């Protein structure tokens, strides 16, 4: 079988070959050139397809802006359309909504003043295996409607809260409860909880690290009903607040920051036993 170079030499002809022989073989030359063009086109299609797939694979984030100009105007809409593992980037603004985290996502506030608030229940309810919330303000305002709700409610999975500002005008700012529920809260400000800052109960686990707990009444952190908590390098302030309440069936490990203005432990608080 002839290789391509030999075939092309036969088509173009050697010096002294009759013109009629060349003319006879022209259709074959055209066929070979057409084959080359087809191969080039196929390669271009393959490259374009590869680029398309790569772009699709790299699309791992969604954008939200209450003012418009992003993919979504609400965080809840972005969560509904997110694939597991996606990052949701939120522009500054006030988002009056309740968030049900029902798939593994990362929600990140961009810049200052990303405020999530609601008067009808919890700002954030955990309903998946793992999720991360970073750089947002969570305002529980249920008392405005004469209701009561935790600002953040974790009854399953592991929620990571980082660099958030959390308040509640009715119940606790953060509640983690139930077997298998886990909370990691780091570098957050938890303040002005009408009924406790953070509640860890019913076999739940929590790590509270490098947080500021301010003016939560009557207790900053309550640990009860076989819960297990680790508290590291947190700052507790508020003259009317105990640092931690713990009942005899729960465990807590505490390591202090360099400066602690006030830290009182209340053991076996009946209300949370």
Domains of the chain: 4-56 (no CATH), 61-272 (2.160.20.10)
pTM (2 decimals)?
A: 0.76
Between 39 and 131, the higher pLDDT residue: 131
What pLDDT does residue 31 have?
Answer: 42
Give the chain's mean pLDDT.
82
State the CB neighbour count (10 A cutoff) for residue 227.
Answer: 26
How far is it, in rounded angstroms, from Cα 28 to Cα 6? 13
SS (H, E, C) 57-118: HHCCEEEECCCCCCCECCHHHHHHHCCCCCEEEECCEEEECCEEECCCCEEEECCCCEEEEE
**208's tokens:** 């509270």
Average pLDDT of the residues in 166-190: 98
What pLDDT does residue 230 have?
Answer: 96
pLDDT digits (tens, 9 = 90+) for 74-127: 999 999 999 999 999 999 999 999 999 999 999 999 988 999 999 999 999 999
């Amino acid at each position: 079988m002839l290789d391509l170079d030999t075939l092309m030499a036969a088509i173009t002809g050697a010096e002294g070959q009759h013109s009629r022989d060349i003319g006879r073989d022209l259709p074959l030359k055209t066929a070979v050139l057409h084959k080359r063009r087809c191969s080039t086109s196929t390669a271009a299609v393959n490259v374009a397809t590869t680029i398309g797939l790569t772009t699709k694979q790299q699309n791992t984030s969604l954008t939200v802006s209450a003012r418009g100009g992003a993919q979504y105007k609400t965080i809840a809409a972005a969560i509904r359309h997110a694939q597991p593992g996606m990052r949701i980037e939120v522009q500054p603004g006030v988002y009056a909504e309740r968030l049900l985290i029902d798939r593994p996502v990362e929600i990140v506030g961009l810049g200052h003043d990303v405020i999530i608030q609601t008067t009808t229940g919890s700002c954030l309810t955990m309903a998946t295996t793992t999720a991360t919330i970073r750089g947002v303000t969570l305002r529980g305002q249920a008392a405005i409607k004469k209701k009561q709700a935790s600002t953040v409610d974790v009854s399953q999975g592991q929620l990571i809260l980082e660099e958030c500002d959390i308040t509640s005008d009715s119940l606790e700012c953060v509640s983690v409860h139930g077997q298998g529920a886990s909370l990691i809260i780091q570098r957050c400000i938890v303040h002005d909880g009408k009924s406790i800052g953070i509640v860890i109960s019913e076999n739940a686990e929590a790590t509270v690290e490098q947080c500021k707990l301010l003016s939560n009444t009557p207790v900053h952190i309550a640990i009860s009903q076989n819960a297990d908590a680790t508290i590291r390098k947190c700052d507790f302030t508020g003259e009317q607040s105990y640092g931690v309440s713990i009942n005899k069936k729960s465990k807590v490990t505490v390591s202090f920051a360099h400066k602690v203005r006030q830290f009182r432990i209340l053991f076996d608080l009946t209300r949370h036993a």
